[in-house]
Amino acid sequence: MDIISRAEWGARAPRSRSTVSWSQRTEFIVHYSEGPTDQSVRSIQDFHMDGRGWADIGYNFLVDVSGRIYEGRGWLVVGAHAPDHNTPGIGVCMIGRDGDATAAAKRSIRWLYDEAVRRKGRTLKKLGHRDVYATRCPGDELYAWVRAGMPADIEEDDMPDYVSVGMDAPQDFPPNTWVTVNWGREYSDREHHHWDKGGPSFVVGPARYGVTANVRIDGLAPGTELQARVIEHPESGGEVETGPIAEYVATNGSTFVHYNLAADTVADGYRVRFQVIHYGTENARITSGSAKAFAWPT
């Protein structure tokens, strides 16, 4: 594979650099940028140098969702990607968030690993950033692939569609009423499941899917009972299908609702939405929230 050089992506000159030998390299550490998939390598470098005060971009290499590989600090320059592991570890970052890792990106990461092994002459330990530091990086999906040994035989058809959305404005939350959460921010949706951007739907049938939704609610009295569910809403009339209900109790201050549905199916002509209800006596507010879904079209 070709590696896009620093000159090609317009890198700034590093303020300083320290090098290591191949004998000192023992680890291969996978990261994600936790930013949009169209984030430029130069913007990451600017953030690392100007925002964090580092000498250069932190990673040794970066990979985008199209599988393009970008030179960061390179093979034998000490990075700034994992405290206490920058000398032994080669840091490779996928540009994107949890669930954005494509088959092409994984193949490129695996190629970099194999090339590092070829250059060193022996295997390197395969690690995710969370293995060496208290972080969620590189996200659950990419980390599971790393833990599985970074298999090279990736089937494109087995990769689910990924949707990540968030609220962009608070919503009123009156008592005894199922409120459908509106998602005004769209972080990732390559297959356009969130057609009505700014609306409530975030998976379109027919598909198998799993979903995680989180909302913050303010203004509830401690002890107030709440429920959450997904619904499958028909696009052109008909009966709404309801999913399993989860129950919660409000606490002092803000109440955080975490809802997870591991697996379900949505029929053709239906869209998945998320709802909450409380059984208090006063109006409350849904002040923030996000949802992530994997979908396998059927």
Output the CA–CA distances (angstroms, integers) from residue 285 to 15, 136, 176, 182, 195, in the order listed: 48, 28, 14, 13, 26
Amino acid at 193: H
Task: State residue 100's pLDDT score.
Answer: 87
Mean pLDDT of 68-92: 96
Q: How far apart are CA 194 and CA 189, in angstroms?
A: 7
How does strand 27-32 pair with strand 125-128? parallel
Q: Across all residues in the chain, what is the average pLDDT?
A: 92
58-70 core/surface letters (b: 16 or more CB in 10 A; e: else): bbbbbbbbebbbb
235 pLDDT higher than 80: yes
262-295 pLDDT tens trace: 888 888 889 999 999 999 999 999 999 999 998 8
The phi and psi torsions of 130 (rounded to 5 degrees) equal -70, -15
For residues 259 and 213, the answer to whether their CB atoms sit within 8 Å is yes
* SS3 category, 44: helix
DSSP code, position 253: S
Q: What is the mean pLDDT of residues 135-164?
A: 83
Short-list 38, 56, 37, CA closest to 46: 56
Predicted local distance difference test score (pLDDT) of residue 254? 95
Q: How much is the pLDDT for 155? A: 59
The rounded percent of the chain whose pLDDT value lies above 90 is 74
DSSP 49: I
Map out the domains of the chain with their CATH numbers: 3-153 (3.40.80.10), 162-297 (2.60.120.40)
Task: Give pLDDT, residue 208.
Answer: 86
CA 100 – CA 86 distance, rounded (Å): 25
**pLDDT at residue 196 greater than cutoff 90:** no
SS3 content of the chain, % helix, strand, coil (to 5): 15, 35, 45
Among residues 195, 196, 157, 166, the alpha carbon closest in space to that of 97 is found at: 166
Q: Give me the pLDDT at residue 133, please.
A: 94
